[in-house]
Structure 1
Amino acid sequence: MKIISERGFPQDDYDDYDDTLEENTEETCEHLCVYRGKCVSCERLAFKNVHQGMWLWLNKEEMDRIRKVESEKLLEDKKMVLVLDLDQTLIHSTEQEKYLRTPQELMQHELRDSLFRLSRPWEKMMLKLRPFVHTFLKEASTMFEIYMCTTGTRSYALKVTEFLDPERVYFKYSRIIAREDLFETDEKSLDLVLREQRMVLALDDTKSVWRKNEVNLILVKKYHYFDSDDDLSHVSHSALETDEDETIGTLPAVLEELKVIHRLFFNPKFEAGLSHRNVGLIFARRSVLRGCTLSFKHIFPSDFMRENSRLWLMAEELGAKFSMDNLLYPITHMVTWFATAEEFQEAELEEFILVHPKWLRACYYAVSRVSENDYLIKPKD
């Protein structure tokens, strides 16, 4: 998908087309019909995007309308949007001669289900899928509408998609954003995704390309399967004759994080509705109580599923870990309405803090760790 102003429009070789650059006022009209980048009614400039493989020109109001309508449809289906990088996030590729294998050799290779030869008239390369990638895409697609955003060319992205998603279940043509679509070749932007950014996550191994959308970014460890002439600081998996673990590697861990974010985004127990949910706030809160391990006492009935309570979900969104009945030590905080004499002694001995549930709420709404001093549980006289 691409959205650019007339100033960036790649001109075609039409003799009757005036390619003189006009001043871009960034103003658009309310008319819907556009020809050659200008409104047919008032000749104002329009914006361009790609839809189902075709370049379309839309005014800003129409883009905003599409963004709103399509986002509402996704929210009704309890889906968010996930924008995935390609190279060193989902795959690793190389043109190095030492790695090239013939199709016959690949048939006998122990990695034949994840190692492929990509051949085009002007280049030959080997492609390695990141372990767990197929399961990752399958499970993520139940929670997210999936896009690809790569600084590689569209032809390269489409070729790689044949191995990542041969049935075209996850990466629809209109959801592949490639180098030709970017405003700058070294910068990615969620403006290219016609969905509300508050519900969009980006997964990438490079932070610098998301300069305008860092609050939406989940940064992942680079996947180095092949040796690299450009980066000698990493020893590749192929050199070590290893690979990432299918169960505890990068993508399984990211999938679990996505499940938590999705559950928190659509949590019906929060006071504000979906219109107030924002992944930027969820990300900001995820580090507030990181490093804290909580235990809940005298809060929930014995037969109550505490994991579904508002307090528990708040603490989870704040990045805290939990101790079930003090079995996980050391805990840092016991959240309780009151404490017995024995619990005060235990807190002193184990060096954890007895704190009122209001402390969690205060941290949540402040989006920062509030001092416990005003929320301490104190012994009764």
Structure 2
Amino acid sequence: MRITSALVDPSLLELPWNTPLEEWPADHLVALPQGISRHVVRFVKLHGTVYAVKETRERIAEREYDLLRALERISAPAVEAVAIVADRLSVDGESLEPVLVTRHLQFSLPYRAVFSHTLRPETMNRLLDALAALLVRMHLIGFFWGDCSLSNTLFRRDAGAFAAYLVDAETGALHLRLSNGQRSEDLEIARTNIFGEALDLQAAGLLHDQIDPEHVSDEVVRRYETLWNEITFEERVEQDTRRYIEKRIRRLNELGFDVEEVAMSVVDNQVHVRPKVVDAGHHSRRLLRLTGLDAEENQARSLLNDLDTYRAESDLPDESQAAHRWFTEVFEPVVRAVPPHLRRKLEPPELFVQVTDHRFRLSEEAGRDVGLAPAVQSFLADVLVHRPDEQAILGYEPDEIAE
């Protein structure tokens, strides 16, 4: 047996590598929702960390491992490659397929788990937005997916929306830049795959009557094209160029993208402006820099709004000082208030966002600010206790879930 690993984890040696994955004993496995896969996939938990183990051919495993490592180095939204285990032999000396080991993305679910009940149209819209945004982000960094689909995506809750992550890269390729033809090909593959998956969901009775499979696949492409155009289009400006550029950059920041430079040219007394978008995660990076919190983009935007409000109310001119005090005096007490048996319900940033929303609703009903501490206790007693673990189901209100 030969293990190629991105990190040294001796516990990998404890797994029964001389047994085909489909025959692994239950005491090594973790029951997690799983999407459709061409390969045998198992989840295992080693010393508090959950890994996904997938059997595949060695050349494919090596290629996907290298590609996922490259995506990790540029902070792309994808799962983390951990190891390749090759040269496996059964107890009878027969060759076994190599496996690719990746780290399981906490608080995430495959689309079929999201569709475990009949999905509402508004939840479907949020999923399509997340998938379109993921494809835009991957194309901006020069990644050709080659098999974009719901099956190859994981979803995490993100302050009322969803964040999507690439989970299968075996058909992908990383280039310096994608041509329009490559992007179009990826979009058509996505359209075809998603149409088939939506038909499958419809046949299983898991699509709402108002959701049309063909419309679903077309909507992903439409949303992608709308976002791509907003990020990349060149616009003619006849006057007040500086103000326009500031507004354009601010609008892109609101979408979660950073701008490295702005290209300008003058043609027939008109200024042509084209921003160079370099990365997504504008709010996430600012929150991480100020507080050390790692959050999804919409979560980060909401947390930063709360931080900025705290800073204004506290009259603290120094942003770093305000962030430190907000983290220790506001954020941490909310997280610590959750009893241990409820901490698997929501990850801390999402918990804080939902507590803030709950406080707003209570205050609206009372006609006054009810305060953070009472809102936390109300949320724990009236909302969180009724939610299933986030790893178990996603995208539904408590009264829609059969306990």
**Alignment TM class, shorter chain as reference:** under 0.3
Give the structure with the larger helix fraction: 2
Q: Which has the larger radius of gyration?
A: 1
Q: When the two structures are superposed, what TM-score results if normalisation uses the length of structure 2?
A: 0.26
Q: When the two structures are superposed, what TM-score results if normalisation uses the length of structure 1?
A: 0.27
